[in-house]
Structure formats: structure tokens, C-alpha cells
Amino acid sequence: MDKIDPAGFQNILFFTGAGMSAESGIPTYRGSGGVWHEYNWEEYACQAAFNRSPEKVLNFHELRRTSVLGCKPHQGHFIIAKMEEQHPGVTIVTQNIDGMHQRAGNHNVIELHGSLWRVRCPAHGISEDMGEKYTTRKCPECDSWIRPDITWFSDMLNEEVINNAVSAIEQCDLFISIGTSGVVWPAAGFPQIAKEKNAFCIEINPEASDFSGMYDINIREPAGKALPMLFKQN
Ligand code: NAD
């Protein structure tokens, strides 16, 4: 396969899922070793659990923060970061909450499902909180429990974030999906939107999904190996 020259495209969109972070050591959702095989989400990752037992839910999320901080971005993350540095039209739309793209150096990241590194007070909104431990578990202004700014099971998606993602996808002429099984909606419909707008569509995933047939190219390799192979680099 010929290498792709990013300069030949105006707007390049990377759409990433849990497989993007797998080589960094963060387990995927559906694969073996995934966090929801070990923990019951009804006890740790939904608003009802938080209402019942905020301390338990925050302890669990601190464990996840500690484990993610023990992992590092891999070569594939750095290739995407360098591309954003060198090319004006690069956007990342991610289903991941781990912040790995930003740690690699990306800025233009749309996080569909929130972030492990932000917290939210029901009255005073969202703030960054980046350490292993939460700086505070109660809002300094109103004393409410603060919750992770993550889309938990049975939460509504953030409509503004989804609209921003769709609008970026509609404008791209190169769409590269990496490490997503394509079963979580509405993100599962994103490749179709790109295709309908005539973007050139590439899938990077060692395994095929139900949507693999609609891509122009399928690269059956892990992200850290596929990304350096795919692009011409300066
Ligand atoms: P998923 O677990 O359903 O699918 C992961 C996909 O990645 C699979 O198709 C698998 O074949 C592929 N994959 C595995 N290793 C890979 C590699 N090295 N390179 C490329 N692809 C690889 O994940 P999903 O589609 O993102 O959906 C799961 C949901 O769970 C998401 O909405 C996400 O929010 C959440 N999640 C996030 C994280 C994270 O932040 N890192 C981790 C687990 C789950």
C-alpha cells in the first residue's frame, strides 16, 4: 500500500475507540481483561450508584486514574499529535475518557464520553482535576458531591459535543477510524456520515466489525504498528 500524504487532504479526522489505547496498557471495553468483567457497572458507573454511595464510586474512579497515569501514550498517539502540529485541519473525535491523545500533545480533541480528568458539580459546572486523587470530593462553593465528568451507563450524551463531532466529520475528506468495535451509538454511525460526505475512509483494527465493508481500506494491524506504516512523515 502507498503511504498517504496528509498534505493531500484538507480536513483529517481521527475517530478513536478503546483499541487506540490498548497498546498503552489500558484494557478495551469488550476484550478480555476489560474493567467491566471485573466490576459491576451498576455499582460503580451510573448516577444511581453515585447517589447511593458517592465515596465508593469516587474511590473506584481514583483507581482508574491511578492505573491510567501508570500508562504512557504509544507511537501511534505521537504520530497523530505530530500531524496536528504540522497540518491545520486535524481533529480527533474519541470515545475514550483516558486523556491519552492530550498527553501525547493533541489539542483539538472532542471527547464524546467525557474525561477521567474532569469533575462536575451539579450547580457549579465542570472543572479540571488531573491527579491520581481528587483534589476535593465536595464542591468548595456549595458542598455538593462532585462526580466524574464521564458519560456513565444510562447517562444522556452531551448533545453539544455530539453536534460538534458530527459537524467535524461532515467536513473531513480523510476519516480514519482506529480501535473501535463500532457498536456504541451514536458513535457507531460516524463512519457512515463520513462516507456519505465522500471522505476517504480507513479502518485500523486487527479485527473486522459489521461496518468494515464500508471503508475504502482496512488495515488489520494494531494502531501502534499501522499508523507509522500509513503516513508519509516529514
Ligand atoms: P470496544 O472495546 O468495544 O472495542 C475495541 C476495539 O479495538 C475492538 O474492535 C478491537 O478489535 C480493537 N482493538 C484492540 N486492540 C487494538 C489495537 N492495538 N489497535 C487497534 N484496534 C484494537 O471499544 P469502543 O468501540 O471504544 O467502545 C467501548 C466504549 O467503552 C467506548 O464508548 C469508551 O467510552 C469506553 N472505554 C474507554 C476506554 C478508554 O478510555 N481507554 C477503555 C475502555 C472502554
| C-alpha cell of residue 109 | 480533541
Using the 3D structure, point to which of 126, 150, 174 is the last residue of a domain.
150
Phi/psi at 91 (nearest 5 deg)?
Answer: -130, 145
pLDDT of residue 83: 97
- 128 and 39 in one domain? yes
Residue ranges around ligand 1 (CB below 6 Å): 17-19, 21-23, 26, 28-31, 95-98, 113, 178-181, 184, 204-207, 209, 222-223
- 107 and 37 in one domain? no
pLDDT of residue 76: 98
Output the CA–CA distances (angstroms, integers) from residue 105 to 30, 74, 84, 160, in the order listed. 27, 12, 9, 24
- 187 and 213 in one domain? yes
Assign residue 64 the CATH number of its domain. Answer: 3.30.1600.10
Tell me the β-bridge partners of 214: none
Q: What whole-number percentage of the chain has pLDDT above 90?
A: 87
- Nearest 5°: CA angle at 53, between 51 and 59? 120
- 139 and 200 in one domain? no
Assign residue 80 the CATH number of its domain. Answer: 3.40.50.1220
pLDDT of residue 29: 74
Of 110, 26, 106, 122, whose CA–CA distance to 68 is shortest?
A: 26
Residue the block writes with cell 475518557: 97
- 162 and 78 in one domain? yes
- 135 and 90 in one domain? no
Cβ atoms of 119 and 126 within 8 Å: the answer is yes
- 210 and 173 in one domain? yes
pLDDT of residue 201: 97
pLDDT of residue 31: 66
| Candidate of 29, 102, 225 to mutate for ligand 1, largest count of ligand atoms within 8 Å of Cβ | 29
Q: Please tell me the total count of domains within the chain.
A: 2
Helix (H, G, I), strand (E, B) or coil at 183: coil
Cis status, amide bond into 186, omega within 30 of 0: yes
- 222 and 129 in one domain? no
Which regions in the chain score pLDDT beneath 70? 30-32, 234
Phi/psi at 43 (nearest 5 deg)?
Answer: -95, -15
Which residues are tagged catalytic? Answer: 113
The H or E element spanning position 15 is strand 12-16
| DSSP category for residue 137 | S
- 89 and 49 in one domain? no
pLDDT of residue 203: 97
192 Cα to the center of ligand 1, angstroms: 19
- 207 and 98 in one domain? yes
For 79-94, what is each residue's pLDDT tens digit? 999 999 999 999 999 9
Output the CA–CA distances (angstroms, integers) from residue 77 to 71, 84, 92, 131, in the order listed. 13, 11, 11, 21
- 37 and 19 in one domain? no
Using the 3D structure, point to which of 150, 166, 200 is the last residue of a domain.
150
Structural domain harbouring 131? 27-70+117-150
- 89 and 13 in one domain? yes
Q: Residue 207 and residue 196: Cα distance in Å, rounded?
A: 24
124 Cα to the center of ligand 1, angstroms: 32
